[in-house]
Chain A
Amino acid sequence: MRELLGRLSALDHGAESAVRVIAYFDALIDGHAGLDALVRGAAVLSGCPAGLHDAARHLAIRIDSEGHRLAASAGPARARWPVAALDEAGALVWLERDDGPVELDAMIVERLAAGARVVLDRTRGRAATRDPALVEVLVDRHADADTRARAARRLGLAAGSSARVVATVPIGEGGALPAVLRRRHTLLGRVDVSVVPHAADWTGDPELARRAGIGPPVPVEELPMSWEGALVALRLTADGTALDPGPRQLRHAELGGLALLATSVPTAAAQIADVAALDDLGRQLPWALATLDAIADRASLRRAAASLHVHHSTLQERVAQLARLLGWPLDTAAGHHRLYLALVLRRLHRNGELPTLAG
């Protein structure tokens, strides 16, 4: 005889109940249910409150068997409650079974944990960073298109959508990666390679203690090209210090002809004479390189003086001195161009240890 009406409520022991527990959680996962629904299901099926706690992801959920939310706790309050771990970092789920033990509890809490892991992988990644191997594949032009498409999907990037690569290195001891660059990230050599969806619109952050080469936005299928562009831009950046003056963050789009220069110059080449001269000057006079960078970078001497916080006439004297030491005029257009190129080539040379995309 069939019942016409029944209410899903606490199941007791037995193989049939176990099958129903599995069916319940499988259906929740198939239906892309969230953590609340999973914890609630465990509470309903067991007949006692269920909880989840994950400090690293700032998650705390407790729900009773009527489906009502309870005040969260930092973990199971009693040692004898059935518990299952979500990861190695201390995230847990549990059932608040005081009148136990009940045979089915172990299965319920295990199914809850398995389901929660699937949800967390899908929605929050592992420790807020998606698998680095996927990013590596995604920017690798030698990987075949299908493999890269799969990697894109698993990284939550829709086919055909727009994204860019941001290549960064830290400056000094600081420069922790911000969340937007950490979400889809890998390390290649000493470069942090981040894939950023175009929608996130990351085009640099002056507060960030990192040098950054910002690749052009491309369809996700063409991210290897954006990676190349990001790397080229990165090689043209500098720490922005006295010994290493220059821009910290560059977008590939603003490089113009410098991009070609950067890809043409062999990084391990012997120093060009002008670059050696700059290095010598930097060793002799601590203010020399910053001054030369300011002159090269600013449209007028007056603006250069302002950026250096020196008097205009002081700067004029210094420029004369530097021109003598360098051996070419710094007050002509040609001299300016030669200086600018020398500074760029110096940066490329200093960045020679950055990976290149050869072959």
Chain B
Amino acid sequence: MTSVTRSHPPFDPELAAVLAAMPAEMFGPIVIEEILSHRETILAQQVVPDETLRRGGAIELEERRVPGPPGEPDLTLLILRPANRTGLAPGLYNIHGGGMITGDRRSGVNGMLDWVEEFGLVLVSVEYRLAPEHPHPAPVEDCYAGLVWTAEHAEELGIDPDRLAIIGGSAGGGLAAATTLLARDRGGPALTHQLLLCPMLDDRATTPSSQELDGEGVWDRNANLAGWTALLGTARGGPDVPPYAAPARAVNLSGVPPTYIDVGSVETFRDEVIDYAARLSQAGVSVELHMWAGAFHGFELYAPQAAVSQAAAEARLSYLRRAFGS
């Protein structure tokens, strides 16, 4: 398939500087085979030890084996909650990112512990089966099963069942959006909010922004096609992909909980995120959309000190305060 790479908006100067200063290999083409062959090593390099997560005793950490989808293996939930909790607290169900093919229940969790402390919330992070070994529907059904278990055992976990929200970034954002649609269509569990951070929503990859990055930035069009293909195989981009695999394909977006959704302006996902936000709004959903100028995918993880990264963290915290603060 030949296509001309469209030009993209410029990177934020601080983020461009990060791209320039990091080892070149880190931003080169993502080769799925390489990731798969070294997956364990990659995850081991990124592990955050228990004592870091416990924050000197301020946070309790628990791992639970819970039933998976019917007829499928059990799965593991990581549960983090404030040590000195009283009564029932809001719950946040987290689905990690990693392009559908990597990551684990601890990926990115360290960055959410401030919320556990500030809001006294209970963070539940699910370990879902990864593609390509486990293509759709395994990942999203695992996420849904973990959510159902969490809601059914809410009080035991210290969660107020009427204050359960869902969050996910990148592939986790796509899975969170899909899990939310499943929860709506299967009659539960009830979710108060969904937070979709740079979510991966559209396997068709035909939007203008999905063509803009070719060997540049983070998660370019080649990586995107590879990630979706790992999840969907040859069905990718075709007529048989359901919205629970690619939420952008959902026709009916009504009845979805209030949504926070963000994306960088120099991302493959930019246009599908803006479109999803628009269509949610048109279906009567309360949406807060942030597009971060000059930001590439995952910018906050690579350069948390940059001004735009700080702004993104502030905006998200502001929304959480409005969501959980009452």
Contacts and interface: CB of A to CB of B under 8 A. Distances in A.
Interface residues of A, number: 31
A44 B13 contact: no
B58 interface: no
Nearest to B303: A8
A65 B34 CA distance: 33
Contacts of A21: 21
Interface string B121-146: 00000000000000000000000000
Contacts of B25: 2
A43 to B, nearest CB: 8
A20 interface: yes
Given A7-B302, A40-B14, A67-B310, A2 B26 contact: yes
B42 A67 contact: no
Contact of A3 (B45, B102, B298): B45
Given A26-B20, A27-B20, A31-B10, A8 B307 contact: no
B102 A4 contact: yes
A28 B42 contact: no
A30 B102 contact: no
Contacts of B45: 3
A66 interface: yes
B10 to A, nearest CB: 7
Interface in B251-310: 298, 301-307, 309-310
Interface in A1-27: 1-8, 20-21, 23-27
A31 B13 contact: yes
B115 interface: no
Given A5-B46, A31-B12, A25 B17 contact: yes
Nearest to A24: B21
B13 A5 contact: no
A30 B20 CA distance: 11
Contacts of B41: 1
B35 interface: yes
Nearest to B46: A5
B153 interface: no
B22 interface: yes
B13 A6 contact: no
Contacts, number: 94
Contacts of A274: none
A32 interface: yes
B169 to A, nearest CB: 12
A41 interface: yes
A297 B150 CA distance: 92
Interface in B1-53: 10-14, 16-23, 25-26, 28, 30, 34-35, 38, 41-42, 45-46
A33 B17 contact: yes
Nearest to A28: B17
Contact of A8 (B11, B22, B46, B310): B22
Contacts of B16: 27-28, 30-31
A5 B27 CA distance: 9
A26 B13 CA distance: 10
Contacts of A44: 305
Given A1-B38, A1-B41, A4-B102, A31 B23 contact: no
A1 B39 CA distance: 11
Nearest to A40: B305
B306 A31 contact: no
B305 to A, nearest CB: 3
A36 interface: yes
A147 to B, nearest CB: 31
Nearest to A44: B305
B17 A41 contact: yes
A68 B306 CA distance: 9
Contacts of A43: 305
A31 B11 contact: yes
A32 B28 CA distance: 25
Contacts of A41: 14, 17
Given A1-B38, A3-B42, A66-B305, A20 B21 contact: yes
Centre residue among B16, B298, B309 by max chain A CB count within 10 A: B16
Contact of B13 (A33, A45, A65): A33
Contacts of B10: 31
A13 to B, nearest CB: 15
A240 B229 CA distance: 84
A21 B11 CA distance: 18
Contacts of B310: 67-68
A37 interface: yes
B7 to A, nearest CB: 16
Interface in A165-180: none
B305 A67 contact: yes
B13 A28 contact: yes
B38 A28 contact: no
B51 to A, nearest CB: 20
Contacts of B302: 5-8
Nearest to B11: A31
A44 B46 CA distance: 21
A28 B23 contact: no
A8 B301 contact: no
B106 to A, nearest CB: 13
A118 to B, nearest CB: 13
Interface string B93-118: 00000000010000000000000000
23 contacts: A2-B26, A3-B23, A3-B42, A4-B26, A4-B30, A5-B46, A6-B26, A8-B18, A8-B305, A20-B22, A24-B17, A26-B20, A27-B21, A28-B13, A28-B16, A28-B17, A31-B10, A31-B16, A36-B307, A40-B306, A67-B305, A67-B307, A68-B310
Interface of A: 1-8, 20-21, 23-28, 30-33, 36-37, 40-41, 43-45, 65-68
Listed from nearest, the 8 A-B pairs whose CB atoms lie closest are A31-B13, A67-B305, A33-B13, A24-B21, A27-B17, A27-B20, A23-B20, A20-B21
Given A7-B301, A37-B17, 11 more contacts: A2-B34, A3-B23, A4-B42, A8-B302, A20-B21, A26-B20, A28-B13, A32-B13, A37-B13, A65-B305, A67-B304
